[in-house]
Amino acid sequence: MKVVKTFILQRKNIAYVVVALLLLLFPFINDSRSMIILFTQVFIFAILAMSYDLLLGFTGIVSFGHAMFFGIGAYTVGIVMKQFEPTVPYFLLAVAITFVITAILSYVVGLLTLRLKSHFYAMLTLAFASLFLVLAEKWRTLTHGNDGFTFRTPEIFRDRLDFYLICLVSMIVVFLLLTRFTNSPAGKVLQAIRENEQRTESLGYSVLQYKIIASVISGVLAGFAGILYSISLRFVNTSVFTMDITLDALLMTIIGGVGTLVGAIIGAGLIEFAHHWLTELAKVHWIFERWLIFFGIIYILAVMFFPRGIVGTLQMMKFKSKKKKTKKVEKQKAAG
């Protein structure tokens, strides 16, 4: 409660609170099933994007294997719900199992790979993710391979409005926790590692230890996003382990603004809405059937006009404006 109160009392966060309230009221104003489902997907991928931003934006770690943790969450909840009764206690069991597996796996992967240079780390994480993809394809008795399987969910998740609110609250809680963490002393160390790893190490900080902490938190949150994604579809297959999931998280982070958690949320919204609109346009005219080309154009334009991402560019403009005003005031004082 103290974290939430402190967050709300900060003047700069009033806009976030207003947006959160609008999103909370949205399904009661607009009961469009398709829009509720779309916004739910945005909230889920915003959690995934924020988890990736903790690695890329705040620690400077590029990972190509983030889908590994996402897929583990998706498959864990699917398997537990299929093997046992689809009740809330078993869902919580699936969440606990996901947290344990992703935490252990991210710790082990981090321990084995984070000593390496960034590009080697990226390639090794991709190799680990590919390993899980192959495992999911071959272990058909458990995963049903590429065909996947459907499963029942607890009753509370079957109503789209209830699930919308659960995903919205989950996104807000993750945002608040990550904001608190990134502003903590540990978060500041991670940002110092991003800026200058050698200097941070020379100051006596265990760089590897802090990187592993970031990796574990990021992996657990990605697993949680995978759980919500699988629940939203009530179906899971090997697509949750593919490179597309990691690339989506990367694009959301870059377009929204690296190192800005709110940017990850905005990026998730833009990409999910772009996916939706371009897919709908493909039904109208054949030219939009190659919607990936248009999506690529949107990405190129976003990078050209917002090189630091949307939020990062706006922050830079605000900083320049503030700096200009300060210089103007100093000149006036000198003239007076």
Per-position pLDDT tens, the chain of length 336: 555 555 445 666 788 888 899 999 999 888 788 899 999 999 999 999 999 999 998 988 888 889 999 999 999 999 999 988 889 999 999 999 999 999 999 998 888 777 766 667 778 888 888 999 999 999 999 888 888 999 999 998 988 999 999 999 999 999 999 999 999 999 999 999 888 888 988 888 888 899 999 999 999 999 999 999 999 999 999 999 998 899 889 889 988 888 889 989 999 998 888 888 877 776 666 665 565 666 677 677 776 777 677 887 777 777 666 767 776 666 767 665
pLDDT of residue 335: 67
DSSP letter (8 states) at residue 238? G
Instruction: Give the rounded distance of the alpha carbon of 55 from its chain centre.
Output: 10
The sign of the torsion formed by the CA atoms of 299, 225, 116, 131 equals: negative
C-alpha to C-alpha distance for 36 and 52, rounded to whole angstroms: 25
Residue for token digits 């949320």?
A: 265
User: CA 58, 245, 26 angle in degrees (round to 5)?
Assistant: 80
- Whether 190 and 210 have beta carbons less than 8 Å apart is answered as yes
Nearest one of 226, 210, 283 to 45, comparing CA atoms: 226
User: Is there a contact between 281 and 288 (Cβ–Cβ < 8 Å)?
Assistant: yes
Q: What pLDDT score does 206 carry? A: 87
Every domain of the chain and the residues it spans: 2-290
Q: What is the pLDDT of residues 29-58, one digit of tens each?
A: 887 888 999 999 999 999 999 999 999 989
Query: Topology of domain 2-290, per CATH?
Result: ABC transporter involved in vitamin B12 uptake, BtuC (1.10.3470)
**The model scores a pTM over 0.85:** yes
